[in-house]
Amino acid sequence: MIRTRVVFLALIVVFAAVASFAQVGTNNSVVNPNLASADELQAVPHIDSTIAQAIIAGRPYLTATALDATLSAATLSDQQRTEVLVNLFVPINLNTASEEEMMLVPGVGRRMAHEFDEYRPWEGGVLRFRREIGKYVDDEEVARLEQYVFVPIDLNSASSEDFLTIPGVGNRMVHEFEEYRPYVNMAQFEREIGKYVDENEVARLARYVYIEQ
């Protein structure tokens, strides 16, 4: 019985260690505009059925600024857009996001945007993000911020667990990601994954991955 308990605890530790290297932050409440249903979008403050349909029509959103532009075209005020983005956001790529994108992350000002930029290139995923940004804010704020960011995953070396942190990716898609390894270039990824999903979904997924050269 004791031996079984030890093995069980060891497995938990191993799983936690793997999960801590996930590239995409833990999301507790932020809605992804590329995946949300019309009903889920309308549950966000200031989003009515007309705006929800406009958001759906604008998919895929490959940047946070693209989503903000759709919200602006929907005649939402600056304050309303700010409040919407707290609950509805396109995660930003920490390695490539522009300052404009960083400043759209709720609660991020120029100082924090500077810290996001300072540690580029981000390697080690969320674990490093927690460590570095944790120098400036408490754990609760780090957890809040990580809902809005991600670090791309290397297609040829990422674990199944890492792939599962990509929004909207399940076990079947993980299998397809791994099936075509090694990837030579992103064109190969787009071609192979395009067998299973449309080009908009391929473009959305491509944001989260890269190929180490």
pLDDT tens, residue by residue, 150-167: 999 999 999 999 999 999
126 plus 83 within the same structural domain? yes
- What is the rounded CA–CA span in Å between residue 202 and residue 196? 9
pLDDT digits (tens, 9 = 90+) for 66-104: 999 999 999 899 999 999 999 999 999 999 999 999 999
pLDDT digits (tens, 9 = 90+) for 141-152: 999 999 999 999
Count of domains for the chain = 2
Q: Is residue 18 part of a domain?
A: no
Domain that includes residue 166, residue range: 153-210
DSSP secondary structure letter of residue 98: -
Q: Among the listed ranges 95-99, 106-110, 120-124, 179-183, which one has the minimum average pLDDT value?
A: 120-124
94 plus 68 within the same structural domain? yes
- What is the rounded CA–CA span in Å between residue 169 and residue 45? 27
143 plus 206 within the same structural domain? no
Structure tokens belonging to residue 43: 């549950």
176 plus 83 within the same structural domain? no
